[in-house]
Amino acid sequence: MNKKRFNLVPILLITIMVVVCAPLLLWFRSSSLLTLNVFENAVYNLEISFQITVLLLAFIVIGIVYGVTGKDGLAYLNLKKRDGKIRPETWIGIKPKETETWRNLGVNFAIVITLVTSVVVYFQVVHGGNVSLELYPGVILILIFALMNAFSEEIIFRFSFVAVVSKNGLSPYVAQGLAASIFGVVHYFGNPGGIPGVLMAAFIGWFLAKSMLETKGFFWALTIHFLQDVVIFSALFMQ
């Protein structure tokens, strides 16, 4: 019993850390610690200031996770591990065949999640508006910001829970549940937002945590999140 309680302490600490980080991200969006004037476009300057600030926060989280888990936790940052056995989730229709692994599931869900995100973002952000997009530097910045944002959010909201839960031998559903709930609530104020944003973000948080746990790596979580953010930043920069 005492050992079980001791194992829960790191989970509690990391949960508090992520809960604190969540409103910080919202605050940084309106009051970034940095004020960079790299581009003529004010929107680009605000975004790069925000992304660099959040990236610094993500590295702090990596340092804290390392202090709690050691090298075992950092192993989940491996981008080469793209395969692994799929744990069935019949309630959501994940019923893998014997030959099906994460190489198949990762590609399939990357396509599905990106398409669903495109539809939701279109109706919430783009529909009915006049749109235009600078090819340079707009398109290049979309890719850069999408990668930075995906990396930072995966570190804060997924890697943190996955590494600590795995190190302490708890059920993977603990990491997936925490990743889903906190990421979902934060996106009530994001893009896409409202209840649709919460439900979508909660599922994605759950699924991407699952990808890390079952592949022991970062590849699918980063890739799928990156593709989503390319869609979201494209829509935002078109306004």
pLDDT of residue 131: 60
pLDDT of residue 31: 84
Name every residue whose Cβ is closer than 8 Å to that of residue 170 and which is 6 or more positions away in sequence: 7, 11
Name every residue whose Cβ is closer than 8 Å to that of residue 65 and which is 6 or more positions away in sequence: 14, 73, 74, 159, 160, 163, 164
pLDDT of residue 147: 98
**pLDDT per position in the chain (239 positions), as tens?**
455 555 788 999 999 999 999 999 989 988 888 889 999 889 999 999 999 999 999 999 999 999 999 999 999 999 999 999 999 999 888 999 999 999 999 999 999 999 998 988 888 766 656 566 676 788 999 999 999 999 999 999 999 999 999 999 999 999 999 999 999 999 888 777 888 889 989 999 999 999 999 999 999 999 999 999 999 999 888 86
174/108 Cα distance (integer angstroms): 25
pLDDT of residue 191: 73
Distances (CA, A) of 120 to 28, 180, 230: 25, 19, 14
pLDDT of residue 195: 87
Tokens 């190489």 correspond to: 103
- Check: CB of residue 209 under 8 Å from CB of residue 179: yes
